[in-house]
Amino acid sequence: MKEGIHPDNYRLVVFKDMSNDHMFLSRSCASSSETVKWEDGNEYPLVKLDISNTSHPFYTGKMMLVDTAGRVDKFNKRYARHKK
């Protein structure tokens, strides 16, 4: 690997899928101002995710509508005139 292009501040971080409250612990350098107490009793930084492998249709095999910012409505409104 090239030297000097990868961050040095990797640490354990808890990632939380906000659509189904699934959490997992992994190493990351993602910044976070929130912390959470993990199963081992230690506190770790918390990074919130909109979607993860437990809620993504590709991994679950189920189609789920995850609309976090009204994107679907915005898309339907924009292209409604083309449906006619």
- Cα separation, 29 vs 82, whole angstroms: 44
Check whether 60 has a pLDDT greater than 80. Answer: no
Q: What residue spans define the domains of the chain?
A: 11-82
Tokens of 51: 């979607």
pTM of the model: 0.64
Query: In this predicted model, what pLDDT tens digit does every residue of 7-59 receive, in sequence order?
Result: 888 999 999 988 888 999 999 999 999 999 999 999 999 999 888 877 766 65
Residue 70 vs residue 26, higher pLDDT: 26
Find the largest Cα–Cα distance for the chain.
Answer: 58
Residue 44 vs residue 79, higher pLDDT: 44
| Whether the Cβ atoms of residue 12 and residue 27 lie closer than 8 Å to each other | yes
Check whether 74 has a pLDDT greater than 80. Answer: no
Of residues 13, 1, 19, the one with CA closest to residue 68: 19
Q: Within 13 Å of residue 43, how many CA atoms lie on the same side as its CB?
A: 5
